[in-house]
Amino acid sequence: MASPKKKLQGLVAATITPMTEHGEINFSVIGRYVDYLVEEQGVKNVFVNGTTGEGLSLSISERCRVAEEWVTKGRNKLDQIVIHVGALSLKESQELAQHAAEIGADGIAVIAPFFLKPWNKDVLINFLKEVAAAAPALPFYYYHIPALTGVKIRAEELLDGIQDKIPSFQGLKFSDTDLLDFGQCVDQNRPRQFAFLFGVDEQLLSALVMGATGAVGSTYNYLGKKTKQMLEAFERKDFSSALNHQFCIQRFINFVVKLGFGVSQTKAIMTLVSGIPMGPPRLPLQKASREFTDNAEAKLKSLDFLSCTDLKDGNMDACS
């Protein structure tokens, strides 16, 4: 059975894949990105090549190179680097899993294949099992994101007996708003010490109450410090402060969701806040508009998430 250095917990940034204006991956800024997460946001775990990282829009060799860069630049700085290796082709997924093991990643995660879909739990488990077997020493996480994969098999159902089939199974990344399903995953697996990583940032506090052991999300790239305050308040049972923090985070997310929020907008916000050029997304996504970035900036400032002194040279690239 895979034994992680330690359980994956706390905040995990779903990393962005920086790109040049010409749509090539901008590997040169990943070192700076690692330092920013650790030093400015206090986030020491990353989830690479997932939704936010446009993993499914990258070629296999690009995904390998991005994973390598994170592992190299994150060495002795980050606690855990989990690589998302899900793909439509089992062979490609296995190749990515093997590669993650070879480069010394700390874990792998896999979404359900979403074109020719598994139609029940057993079929999905069979697919995941074959991927996990390609890197048996690496902790394995199932990435549940039904709104994007269209695979609606309940996580609770999937987890039932999963370790008998996948001995390296270590946890669940749950990117869905069904707190009944999430709560039952926790409740029915209490003795098993799985990591329960919640993936809907605006609802994290509710998931903490349900037993989430950590969270993977896009906003922890730039709201990591703020979200940590909520985690700390929750930890010391100061629920009123925790709720205030969650409401404050919700005010921002609610605002950007109404403007239209996704990976493109995450890239623009992160460029603005960190000063690291994240570039445009890859097609079929479209670059966030200047109007979006201006509005997001004003909202960040009004919520005290960003002061003028935080704006570093080059941040305005996000607005061009």
Q: Please, what is the minimum distance in Å from the beta carbon of residue 254 to ligand SI3?
A: 10
Q: x-or-dash pattern for ligand SI3, window 103-122, by CB under 6 A?
A: --------------------
Separation between Cα atoms, residue 165 and residue 169, nearest integer Å: 9
Tell me whether residue 83 or residue 276 sits nearer to ligand SI3 (CB atom): 83
52 is in an annotated binding site: yes
- Look-up of token digits 């903490």: 208
The residue with tokens 């074959």 is 130
Residue from 27, 33, 47, 140 in contact with ligand SI3 (CB under 6 A): 47
For residue 173, indicate whether it is catalytic: yes
In the complex, what is the shortest distance from the CB of residue 93 to ligand SI3, in angstroms, rounded to a whole number? 15
Please list every residue from 192 through 221 that binds ligand SI3, using CB under 6 A: 199-202, 216-219
Q: How many angstroms separate the CA atoms of 214 and 220, rounded? A: 12
Residue nearest ligand SI3 (C-beta atom) = 50
Catalytic: which of 44, 73, 173, 299? 173
The residues in 13-32 that bind ligand SI3, with binding defined as CB under 6 A, are 14
- In the bound state with ligand SI3, the residue whose beta carbon lies nearer, of 51 and 80, is 51
One of 9, 17, 51, 149 touching ligand SI3 (CB under 6 A): 51
Select 52 or 80, whichever has its Cβ closest to ligand SI3: 52
Judged by beta carbon, residue 151 or residue 316, the one nearer ligand SI3 is 151
DSSP the chain: ----SS---EEEEE----B-TTS-B-GGGHHHHHHIIIIIH---EEEESSTTTTGGGS-HHHHHHHHHHHHHHHTTT-SEEEEE---SSHHHHHHHHHHHHHHT-SEEEEEPP-SS---SHHHHHHHHHHHHHTSTTS-EEEEE-HHHH-----HHHHHTTHHHH-TTEEEEEE-SS-HHHHHHHHHTTGGGT-EEEE--GGGHHHHHHHT--EEEESGGGTSHHHHHHHHHHHHTT-HHHHHHHHHHHHHHHHHHHHH--SHHHHHHHHHHHH-----PPPTTS-PPPHHHHHHHHHHHHHTTS--GGGPPTTGGGGG-
Residue count at the site for ligand SI3 (CB under 6 A)? Answer: 15
Q: Which residues are within 8 A (CB) of 190 and not within 5 positions of it... i.e. 6 or more apart?
A: none
Q: Which of 33, 36, 141, 143 is catalytic?
A: 143
Task: For the CB of residue 51, give the shortest distance to ligand SI3 in the complex, in Å.
Answer: 4
* Smallest separation (angstroms) from ligand SI3 to the CB of 145: 6
Report the residue number, 175 or 293, with the smaller CB distance to ligand SI3.
Answer: 175
257 is in an annotated binding site: no
Instruction: Spell out, one character per residue from 264 to 283, where the chain touches ligand SI3: x when CB under 6 A holds, - when not.
Output: --------------------
Q: Measured between alpha carbons, how far is residue 75 from residues 13, 28, 36, 109, 255 in Å?
A: 16, 16, 14, 20, 36
Q: Which stretch binds ligand SI3 (CB under 6 A): 48-56, 159-167, 224-232, 239-247?
A: 48-56
Q: Is residue 172 within the footprint of ligand SI3 (CB under 6 A)?
A: no
Catalytic residues: 143, 173
User: Which residues contact ligand SI3 by CB under 6 A?
Assistant: 14, 47, 50-52, 175, 199-202, 216-219, 253
Binding-site positions for pyruvate: 52, 216
Binding-site positions: 52, 216
